[in-house]
Structure 1
Amino acid sequence: MTASASRDPDGDVARQFFRLTEQAGDMPLPGAGNTWQRWMALAQVAAQDVCLIKLFEAHADALAILAELGRPKPPPGTRWAVWAAEPPDARVVLHADGGANGGAVLSGRKAWCSGAPLVTHALLTCWDAREQPCLAVLALDAPGIAADEGAWRSPAMTAARTADLVLDGTPARQLGASGAYLRRPGFWHGGAGIAACWLGAAVPFVLALRALVARRAEAHAAAHFGAADIALRGGWAMLRETAAWIDANPAADAVTVVQRARLAAEKAATDIMAHAGRALGAGPLCRDAALAARFCDLPVFLRQSHAERDLAALGTGLAAPGQGSDAGWAPWLSVMPGLDPSCLGVAP
């Protein structure tokens, strides 16, 4: 048995992924008025299985990207991924064929391709001849694709079937102009959707703590449950606020509000997992297969956050000149007489 199959011997995650993709076309698009409902749907899948949401969120994100860039909805039966990791040792270069239909060929290595054996198509980031970032549409049955599942060495998230792809003159199609993928408002909307997945994936830990305290009212376990409840509800409140802001400002630059939401969700999920581990002890880590898998999978899933790099980016942005009421500081400064707003780069 291969490492990739060891955690999902019957292919249950793949079957569930196939089933969910048939329903994904009915999900609200981000920024269209029902962003919170979209995120709650993602969170519910994340609460079911971390590998499943890793696959399904990428499919849903691909549909949203295609819609935002003016492309028709993909035909039924297709399953999509978005592969946007850009590690320094793996890069894909796009060579346009000069035609009007966006035809191109891809060459290079694409790392961290989750669902590579399971999807039919992918949107993947690459670089054009001018060293500009771009997005390509790749059909996984195209020639010139070699998959390396052996690059994934971790016992975590094996059912997500992550591989490195080596592309050698692989036919593809450029999607939109170079740089359009990063410039579009939906880039940050999708980033906040991932935060909803992180927090949804932490919910079973809170439920396990609740069940423990209901069985045995021990003070320390109750304290951990209380702390986890606060973290969970605080994270949801931040995400609900962010969803409302995005729906009210669908074309605005969402970088600050989304960075906050992502960092809040990451911290909440990390804290919840720590409280669960300390209160539940070794038993669930060894004898509860589903919870043990979640303890293994969620730390890897959370590393889609860039930790202190994201915190630094948020802080730097908030202190930059020109940050106005959207930064969220102006209302507080108005009730703090004598404080010089220039210290934060915020006008009251």
Structure 2
Amino acid sequence: MQETVNLAPHALDACLAELRFDPDDPRSLGEAFDVLVDGGFDRLPLPGGGATLERWRSLAAVAARDLGLVKLFEGHTDALAILAELHGPAPRPGRRWAVWAAQAPDARVAAVRVEDRIVQLSGVQSWCSGARAVTDALVIAWLDGEPILAAVPIGGPQTAVSTERWHAVGMRATASGDVRFENAPAVLIGKPHDYVHRPGFWQGGAGIAACWFGAAAGLARRLREATAARPDPYRLAHLGTADVALAGAAALLRETARLIDANPSDGLHDAALRARLGVEAAVDTVLAAVGRALGAAPYCRDAAFARALADLPVFIRQSHAERDLAALGEAVAQDAASTVGGERWSL
């Protein structure tokens, strides 16, 4: 079971404020990630444990500092939560984890059973964020025609990392390349299909939206500072637009966190999708507002602002956009009342 430490929020804020790293350099980004883990800031409350909102506030704070950093941090904390939920082995101190579950049409990992819980992995896993910064990963592999989750060490002779196909501008420093496994020893976590069927799948998916929210709030703060320094009617209107969007997204995240804590054994698919889509819409609104209000100057002369504006559109593409909207709409059409939380759309 993962040990959680409720570090005061101001301790994380202070650490992030003092953190010095080159956000464009994967090695430097990895060292900043190490600082957060070594400082114990990764031991967040588990989803559904009564403090989900506290967990999400930490993710949002890291995201406001840098999206590449939160990409590594969120993946690591998600892996710790998955290991706890599926009763995997306790993570050893000093290890940095990732979750690589994307299933690309041109990449697949096969598993061969060696012992009861021991398998060997062979094949290629794509979209491996932080592949050069982590020591271990949870990977989806295929065993006897079924998807399984396996914990595998990274960096040994049976794993090879390649970033040859990584040409991103946004989220560049995450170096999300391909990892090739050749008979790499791994440990089975849970049973086949457990990764997507566990309640934490959608609970964790909603947590991603907290990262998007944190980054958008950071951009809106930049807009607020600029507007306070030089107000005009148009900037004020754009700031008001951003405020409405972020206030609605924050309320939606708080309500979703409350539902998760009240129903920890429920996957809450609809609520998680709604939170993700609501925050995505708020992000789109904020991106438009800050650009129209501030013009080209911060895009070109403010490195942190420009980086966030490049990173955030890439990060929110973890949403499946209209496919997710259609999935939510289908759920609404089939069920006039929510299974939890009372009637839909009631105050």
Tell me the TM-score normalised to structure 1 length.
0.89
Whole-Å separation in 1 of the counterparts to 2:322 and 2:26:
38
Aligned to 2:149: 135
For residues 109-149 of structure 1, the C-alpha deviation after alignment (integer angstroms, 9 at most, x for no partner) is: 111100100100000112212x2111011101333222111
2:126 corresponds in structure 1 to 111
For 1:331 and 1:79, the matched residues in 2 are separated by 41
Does residue 14 of the first structure (1) align with residue 27 of the second (2)?
no
Find runs of 4+ consecutive structure 1 residues off by over 4 angstroms: none
CA deviations on 1:298-340 (whole Å, 9 max, x unpaired) are 11101110110100111111212x564337673658x9xxxxx
| Residues 192 and 331 of structure 1, relative CA distance in 2, 3 Å threshold | closer
Q: Is the 8 A contact 2:63 2:70 kept in 1?
A: yes
- Aligned residue for 1:330, secondary structure, equals coil
8 A contact 1:142–1:171 mirrored in 2:
no
Structure 1 residue 73 corresponds to structure 2 residue 90: yes
1:243, CA displacement in angstroms?
0.2
1:212 to 226, 229, 235: 226
Shift of 1:259: 0.4
Structure 1 residue 286 corresponds to structure 2 residue 286: no
Please point out which of 248, 251, 268 is paired with 1:237: 251
The answer (yes or no) to whether the contact 1:136–1:175 under 8 Å persists in 2 is yes
Report the equivalent of 1:48.
65
Query: 1:107 is paired with a residue of what secondary structure?
Result: strand
Separation (CA, whole Å) in 2 of partners of 1:57 and 1:6: 19
Aligned residue for 2:24, secondary structure, equals: coil
The residue aligned with 2:164 is 150
Question: What secondary structure, in the 3-state scheme, does the structure 1 residue paired with 2:185 have?
Answer: strand
Displacement after TM superposition at 1:252 (Å): 1.3
SS at match of 2:161: strand
What is residue 338 of structure 1 aligned with on the other side? none
Q: Find the aligned partners of 1:331 and 1:282 in 2 and give their Cα distance.
A: 42
Distance 1:138 1:205 in 2: 37
* Match for residue 300 of structure 1 among 314, 320, 343: 314
Q: Distance between the aligned counterparts of 2:285 and 2:109, measured in 1?
A: 37
Give yes or no for contact 2:22–2:29 (8 Å, CA) kept in 1. Answer: no
Contact residue 23 and residue 29 of structure 2 kept, 8 A: no
In the alignment, does 2:200 pair up with 1:182?
Answer: no
User: What RMSD over aligned residues (CA atoms) do the two structures have, in Å?
Assistant: 1.9
CA gap 1:81/1:286 in 2 versus in 1, 3 angstroms: same
Q: What does the per-residue CA deviation read over 1:61-100, in whole Å, with 9 as the maximum and x for residues that have no partner? A: 0000000011343111100000011121111111112x22
CA distance in structure 1 between the aligned counterparts of 2:340 and 2:121, rounded to whole angstroms:
40
Tell me how far apart the structure 1 counterparts of residues 107 and 136 of structure 2 sit (CA, whole Å).
20
In the alignment, which residue of structure 2 is the partner of 1:32? 49
CA gap 1:112/1:9 in 2 versus in 1, 3 angstroms: closer
Normalised TM-score (structure 2): 0.89
Alignment match of 1:89 (pick from 106, 109, 127): 106
2:333 corresponds in structure 1 to: 319
The CA distance in 2 between the partners of 1:258 and 1:269, in whole Å, is 16
Tell me the amino acid that sits aligned with residue 60 of structure 2: A
Moved more, 45-54 or 175-184: 175-184
Larger radius of gyration between Structure 1 and Structure 2: 1
Give the match for residue 138 of structure 2: 123
Query: What residue is the counterpart of 2:183 in the other structure?
Result: 169
Q: In structure 1, list runs of 5 or more residues that go unmatched.
A: 336-348
Q: Please say if residues 24 and 60 of structure 1, whose CA atoms lie closer than 8 Å, have aligned partners that are also in contact.
A: no
Separation in 1 of the partners of 2:104 and 2:163? 17
Instruction: Say if 1:169 and 1:323 are closer, same or farther in 2 by CA, change over 3 A.
Output: farther
> What runs of 5+ residues in structure 2 fail to find an aligned partner?
1-20
